[in-house]
Chain A
Amino acid sequence: AQSVTQLGSHVSVSEGALVLLRCNYSSSVPPYLFWYVQYPNQGLQLLLKYTSAATLVKGINGFEAEFKKSETSFHLTKPSAHMSDAAEYFCAVSVYQKVTFGTGTKLQVIP
């Protein structure tokens, strides 16, 4: 069975600072990996996805993530945080179309 661990339930960064949200996965077969963002009282929106092509994946709103098989990681980064990035972020792993989500990381952006 696959699983996802997101380190840090809350992360605070200053506006303009680097954003780093951590995600480690466990899977017995090569997985597909995703990052979703959820704004208050809304559903989840896809930020980016890794589907076994390039290991560095670029998504919407300036976010990117790098798949590192040796570290079983798929950390999400953004060079410069914006106030509008404040939201909850979920990492997810998909194996044979079964999708498992992490517990989420709430990102706070301090002006």
Chain B
Amino acid sequence: DAGVTQSPTHLIKTRGQHVTLRCSPISGHKSVSWYQQVLGQGPQFIFQYYEKEERGRGNFPDRFSARQFPNYSSELNVNALLLGDSALYLCASSPQIAANTGELFFGEGSRLTVL
């Protein structure tokens, strides 16, 4: 079975540009979460989506937005990129939220470099 897949794996942008990152969850998983991992730090929670609705938002500016599609895949969008947005962006899926312990299944991540 396929795991969580993310695209693109690497990308380079310049300040002020916009980026869209994509994620496909494990088949049967309805919840998708996004995390930002800056070099040398632990993952920081950005968003959680379940059944196309936002269920949680971390302490990130409005430049960050996301959505979940009917097939449970998800996009993370970041506008007006800053140098500090350079990071590994991790997508994680998890099973039905009601019985969920919080165990996350991660993709390999999208490495964003902002110049």
Contacts and interface: CB of A to CB of B under 8 A. Distances in A.
Interface of A: 32, 34, 36, 41-46, 49, 51, 90, 92, 94-95, 97-104
Interface residues of B, number: 28
B45 A44 contact: no
Interface in B86-100: 90, 92, 94, 97, 100
Nearest to B42: A101
B48 interface: yes
14 contacts: A34-B103, A42-B108, A42-B109, A43-B108, A44-B104, A94-B101, A97-B56, A97-B94, A97-B100, A97-B102, A98-B45, A98-B48, A101-B42, A104-B41
Contacts, number: 62
A32 B42 contact: no
Nearest to B100: A97
B42 A104 contact: yes
Given A34-B103, A44-B43, A97-B97, 14 more contacts: A43-B90, A44-B92, A45-B106, A51-B101, A94-B101, A95-B102, A97-B31, A97-B102, A98-B45, A99-B33, A100-B45, A101-B44, A102-B42, A104-B40
Given A32-B101, A51-B101, A94-B101, A103 B42 contact: yes
B25 interface: no
Contacts of A46: 103-105
Contacts of A42: 108-109
